[in-house]
């Protein structure tokens, strides 16, 4: 498992080529689904991880959004997109495991392809639960492992290589959300059972 | 189910190219002296490993243009299956490089079809999300 310093270094290194690898095909393919998920933004919103800010174009206007990312290089690249957002958006260089926000600060948390990369996903998700207000919601756009043969085998085999390049590709993120003390309210498959949206609320 | 022609053609080209490259390469890797059941198993293994590596490479190269997961998974599957099938076929008979590539390409198209069938089945809300 990467420690926060290794994780930051990995994503700092990826910042230069990140838009080339994701801004074209992947974003064009996923943008309609992201827009649908992000259209639910309301109240005080925490968004992680901002990356180079590609997702900001999918945000509804006029929201109050706080963004975090572990990589200062990514945030540097995101700056023009943050400045162009038609709403209130502030960003912080911060590790999700060690967030400095007070308890019950946010009405909603949104993630986008984040928990494939957080080194300790259950601890990271528990931290999100801490900063959510009672009655708040967690809304995730994520890629995960698969339960379908042979895709599950392929993702498991590919994972050791992929985690060196960036994300892990075989995580059970729905299970991790539950382990972190959330109750799943909706799972929507977008590509196979690999790319999906996950909606959850803190379990009572 | 993807309906945009650009992405369908991207998925198809990645899967067909992956299958064809895997078939072509494995044709050279399985020695002509291979025969018998053990050789067939060895050829299948060589084909599977080689094909999966080729498939992942084809998928990752197409990813910036056609999608992060959508072309990569069927292309990896195409490489793996084409490598296994062509590797096994090489033990039973001799295939020319062209025929191995054409066979691999056809397998690639079938793998994409399989992926699309699974996608149609799985797309949308999961009926009963597991409650904690």
Instruction: Give the model confidence (pLDDT) of A149-166 as tens digits.
Output: 999 999 999 899 888 877
What are the pLDDT digits (tens) for B64-120?
999 989 999 999 999 999 999 999 898 888 889 999 999 999 999 999 999 999 999
User: Above 90 in pLDDT, residue A167?
Assistant: no
Spatial contact of A177 and A117, defined as CB atoms under 8 Å apart: no
pLDDT score for B31: 79
Q: Which residues lie across from A187 on neighbouring strands?
A: A198
Predicted confidence at residue B125, as pLDDT, reads: 94
Number of domains in chain B: 1
Q: Taking 50 as the threshold, does the pLDDT of residue B131 lie above it?
A: no
Average pLDDT of the residues in B3-24: 94
Using CB atoms, which residue from A25, A150, A178 is nearest to B67?
A25
- The predicted model scores a pTM of 0.91
Per the domain annotation, does B132 fall within a domain?
no
Q: Where are the domains of chain A?
A: 4-202
CB contact under 8 A, A158 and B66: no
Q: Is B15 a member of any domain? A: yes
Query: Hey, is B28 helix, strand or coil?
Result: helix
Instruction: Quote the domain boundaries for residue B27.
Output: 5-120
Q: What is the pLDDT of residues B42-72, one digit of tens each?
A: 888 888 888 888 888 888 888 899 998 999 9
The yes-or-no verdict on residue B39 having pLDDT over 90 is no
A29 pLDDT higher than 80:
yes
What CA–CA distance (Å, rounded) separates A18 from B70? 18
CATH superfamily, region A4-202? Vaccinia Virus protein VP39 (3.40.50.150)
B30 has a pLDDT exceeding 90? no
- Residue B108 located in a structural domain: yes
* B115 domain residue, yes or no: yes
Is B112 within the bounds of a domain? yes
Q: Is the pLDDT of residue B14 over 50?
A: yes
CB-nearest partner of B77 from A150, A182, A185: A150
Distance from CA of B14 to the nearest CA of A (A): 13
Cβ atoms of A195 and B72 closer than 8 Å:
no
pLDDT in tens, A107-161: 999 999 999 989 999 999 999 999 999 999 999 999 999 999 999 999 999 899 8
Which of B65, B69, B118 lies nearest to residue A24, judging by beta carbons? B65
Query: Does the pLDDT value for residue B132 go beyond 50?
Result: no
Which residues of chain B make contact with A167, given a CB cutoff of 8 A? none
pLDDT value of position B129: 54
Contact B123 A190 (CB under 8 A): yes
The answer to whether position B10 is within a domain reads: yes
Any CB–CB contact under 8 A between A194 and chain B? yes
> Tokens 């072509």 correspond to what residue?
B24
Task: Give just the sign of the alpha carbon dihedral B36, B37, B38, B44.
Answer: positive
Least confident range from A22-26, A63-67, A87-91, A175-179: namely A22-26
Alpha-carbon dihedral sign for residues B45, A155, A118, A55: positive
The pLDDT assigned to B3 comes to 86
B65-77 exposure pattern, b = at least 16 Cβ within 10 A, e = fewer: bbbbbbbbbbbbb
pLDDT at B128: 61
Which residue, among A26, A30, A199, would best test binding to B if mutated, counting the most B CBs under 10 Å from its CB?
A26
Q: Binning pLDDT at 50, 70 and 90, where does residue A26 land?
A: very high
What percent of chain A has pLDDT above 70?
A: 99
Report pLDDT for A164: 81
Check if B70 contacts A (Cβ < 8 Å): yes
Average pLDDT, chain A: 94
Mean pLDDT of chain B: 88
Q: How far is residue A204 from each of residues A64, A135, A182, B17, measured CA to CA in Å?
A: 27, 10, 8, 51
């Amino acid at each position: 498992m990467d420690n926060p310093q290794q994780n930051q270094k990995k994503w700092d290194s990826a910042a230069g080529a990140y838009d080339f690898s994701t801004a074209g095909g992947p974003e064009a393919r996923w943008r309609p689904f992201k827009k649908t998920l992000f259209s639910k933004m309301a109240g005080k919103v925490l968004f992680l991880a901002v990356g180079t800010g590609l997702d900001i174009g999918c945000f509804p206007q006029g929201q109050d959004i706080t963004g975090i990312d572990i990589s200062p290089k990514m945030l540097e690249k995101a700056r023009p997109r943050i400045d162009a957002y038609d709403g209130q958006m502030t960003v912080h260089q911060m590790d999700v495991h060690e967030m400095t926000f007070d308890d019950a600060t946010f009405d909603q948390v949104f993630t986008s392809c984040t928990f494939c990369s957080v080194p300790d996903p259950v601890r990271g998700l528990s931290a999100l639960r801490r900063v959510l207000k009672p009655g708040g919601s967690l809304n995730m756009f994520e890629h995960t492992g698969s339960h379908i043969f042979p895709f599950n085998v392929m993702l498991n085999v590919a994972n050791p290589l992929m985690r060196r390049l960036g994300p892990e590709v075989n995580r059970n993120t729905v299970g991790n959300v539950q382990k972190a003390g959330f109750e799943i309210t909706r799972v929507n498959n977008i590509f196979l059972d690999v790319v999906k949206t996950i909606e959850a609320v803190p379990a009572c | 189910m993807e309906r945009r022609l650009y992405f369908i053609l991207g998925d198809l080209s990645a899967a067909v190219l992956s299958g064809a490259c895997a078939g072509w390469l494995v044709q050279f890797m399985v020695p002509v002296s291979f025969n018998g059941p053990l050789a067939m198993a060895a050829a299948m293994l060589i084909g599977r490993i080689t094909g999966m590596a080729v498939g992942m490479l084809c998928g990752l190269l197409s990813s910036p243009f056609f999608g992060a997961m959508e072309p990569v998974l069927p292309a990896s599957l195409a490489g793996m299956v084409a490598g296994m099938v062509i590797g096994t076929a090489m033990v039973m008979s001799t295939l020319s490089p062209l025929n191995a590539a054409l066979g691999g390409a056809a397998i690639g198209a079938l793998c994409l079809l399989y992926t699309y069938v699974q996608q149609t089945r799985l797309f949308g809300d999961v009926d009963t999300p597991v409650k904690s």
